[in-house]
Amino acid sequence: MGQIVLTLSKTTVAEMNQAYMAMQKPAPAGAVFAAKTDTSTITAYQSGKVLFQGEQPEVEASKWGSVEEAEIAPKKVKPKHGYEPDPSLFTSSHIGSDEAGTGDYFGPVTVAAAYVTDEQIELLREIGVKDSKNLTDSSIHSLAEKILALKIPYNLIVLHNPKYNELQAKKWTQGKIKTILHNHAINQLVKEIEPAKPTGILIDQFSQPSVYIRHLKSEGKRLTDDTYFITKAESHSIAVATASILARASFVDEMNKLSETVGIELPKGASEKVDRVAGSILRRSGPEELGQYAKMHFVNTKKAETYQ
């Protein structure tokens, strides 16, 4: 299945709306219209972006604009392992998953999986869904709200610090913790969206797929069918970018709640500022209390002791 995106004037989009009147189908939220011909599905958005998808999207697209200059799917990159997705996955209905909080001393680990249909991809791009690393906390919040308003199916897991520390004490590496959380979030979502079946599942890669599979095996689980891994997946896949925003927004929320409980603004990351704040909590309430808010195996705990 191919895809072509043309950027057209409002007048042309209005003309198209008329021309495809007899072939229209229910448009996704936020779209001007959607239509289906023998060769392609056409979805037009407020911004003037028009998406042509199907067996021969060029048949209709070439009536309205220059297909040669149109945006086409990203070129295939050389595979690094056997689980690299075909780029066509990025424009198909798929699940993406990503996590937040793993590099932060304070706060939980949050993992989200989101299911995005091919028709929603452009719409999510329109509302500004992109790599959450380049977004501020407040824009993450408003984006997460917009995503929720679109009723995108998702699953979110929050692993709070006491449970995280317990798993660490059981010698679970952070890689294993992330693996089990991703796997759980994805499988729950797969069940929730039934009978819809995603073309594939894309995980923002944090370890070699063989390591991920080994962690699953150690807990008697297996890799879900059609699962793919790629690094920086959020820059290729809107589903991963969506999951990444939901995970990040949840992490920010949890940090705000924890800060309120502790009565100190808990800094993100793992910097010296973090050591100082951890030191003051240690001084005031001891390590058990600190374990309610922090990932105790981080080197920050040792450093915090020197601030006591």
Site residues (vs Mg ion, CB under 5 A): 98, 204
60 vs 204 by CB, closer to Mg ion: 204
Q: Please give the residue whose beta carbon sits closest to Mg ion in the complex.
A: 204
65 vs 200 by CB, closer to Mg ion: 200
C-alpha 143/C-alpha 139 separation (Å) is: 6
* Lookup: tokens for 9: 């004037």
- From edge to edge, which strands make up the β-sheet containing 49-54? 2-7, 49-54, 41-45, 31-36, 24-25
CA distances from 215 to 83, 103, 205, 206 (A): 16, 20, 14, 13
**Minimal CA–CA distance to 289: which of 171, 105, 162?**
162
* Lookup: tokens for 61: 């697209």
89 vs 240 by CB, closer to Mg ion: 240
Least spacing, CB of residue 96 vs Mg ion, in Å: 10
Least spacing, CB of residue 204 vs Mg ion, in Å: 4
Least spacing, CB of residue 8 vs Mg ion, in Å: 35
Least spacing, CB of residue 84 vs Mg ion, in Å: 16
100 vs 223 by CB, closer to Mg ion: 100
Least spacing, CB of residue 73 vs Mg ion, in Å: 22
98 vs 104 by CB, closer to Mg ion: 98
Which string of DSSP letters, residue by residue, matches 114-154? Answer: EEE-HHHHHHHHHTT---GGGS-HHHHHHHHHHHHHTT--E
The answer to whether the beta carbons of residues 94 and 230 sit under 8 Å apart is: no
